[in-house]
Amino acid sequence: MKKVIKNIVLLAMVVVFTSCSDKRTRSVQYMPDMYVPVSYETYGENAMYENGMASRIPAEGTLARGAEFPYDYENTQEGYELAKANLKNPLDSLIDPKRGKALYGIYCTSCHGDKGAGQGELVKREKFLGVPNYKDRDLTDGNIYHVIMYGKNLMGSHSSQLTEEERWQIVAHVHELRNN
């Protein structure tokens, strides 16, 4: 008998709890802090930290999500030689010849020409001189990338116009032009 009463009470409790819940209002929350966290303004105050600031300086050696890896080679002759010897195109199977060609067409053709022979429109109009034929130079992945990053003599840097991935697509296209 006791068991029956116990079951009835249990059932009644379940009915009471479930039937009272209104889908549109929030029901009882255990550990509300987990669901409704206290948020801080980025540059607001926070007594938790020694300097009283909510914003944190990122841990050393970390990169923000989506940020590019820093380019470690310096803009010197030595940096150029080091990049030329060591840096390799990381894209491998992700090389997309169509994209490389299109990007090259936007950023490089004006001086270097479609075929990379150094006869772009700006050269024909004598706005730029000394643009080489790629085939006449000994070029490696690293050295092409380095020149895109920093420029060289009359050629300006293109680092701010291109993402890391785009630069490497172009590097692959320059090789393509050299080999054909």
Closest CB 66 distance from ligand HEC, rounded Å = 22
Of 118-157, binders to ligand HEC (CB under 6 A) are: 122, 128, 130-132, 137, 139, 143-144, 147-148, 152-155
> Is residue 87 involved in binding ligand HEC (CB under 6 A)?
no
Closest CB 114 distance from ligand HEC, rounded Å = 13
Give the dihedral sign, CA 153/159/161/167.
Answer: positive
CA dist 133 and 177 (Å) reads 10
Cα 159 off chain centre by: 13
Q: Is 142 in contact with 87 (CB distance < 8 Å)?
A: yes
51 vs 163, beta carbon nearer ligand HEC: 163
117 vs 155, beta carbon nearer ligand HEC: 155
Closest CB 164 distance from ligand HEC, rounded Å = 13
Closest CB 82 distance from ligand HEC, rounded Å = 13
148-163 CB burial, b ≥16 within 10 A, e <16: bbbeeeebeebbeebe
53 vs 122, beta carbon nearer ligand HEC: 122
> Is residue 108 involved in binding ligand HEC (CB under 6 A)?
yes
> Is residue 71 involved in binding ligand HEC (CB under 6 A)?
no
**150 φ/ψ angles, rounded to the nearest 5 degrees:** -110, -15
CA dist 50 and 171 (Å) reads 48
> Is residue 110 involved in binding ligand HEC (CB under 6 A)?
yes
* Number of residues counted as binding ligand HEC (CB under 6 A): 23
CA dist 137 and 144 (Å) reads 11
CA dist 89 and 94 (Å) reads 10
Task: Return residues touching ligand HEC (CB under 6 A).
Answer: 107-108, 110-112, 122, 128, 130-132, 137, 139, 143-144, 147-148, 152-155, 158, 170, 174
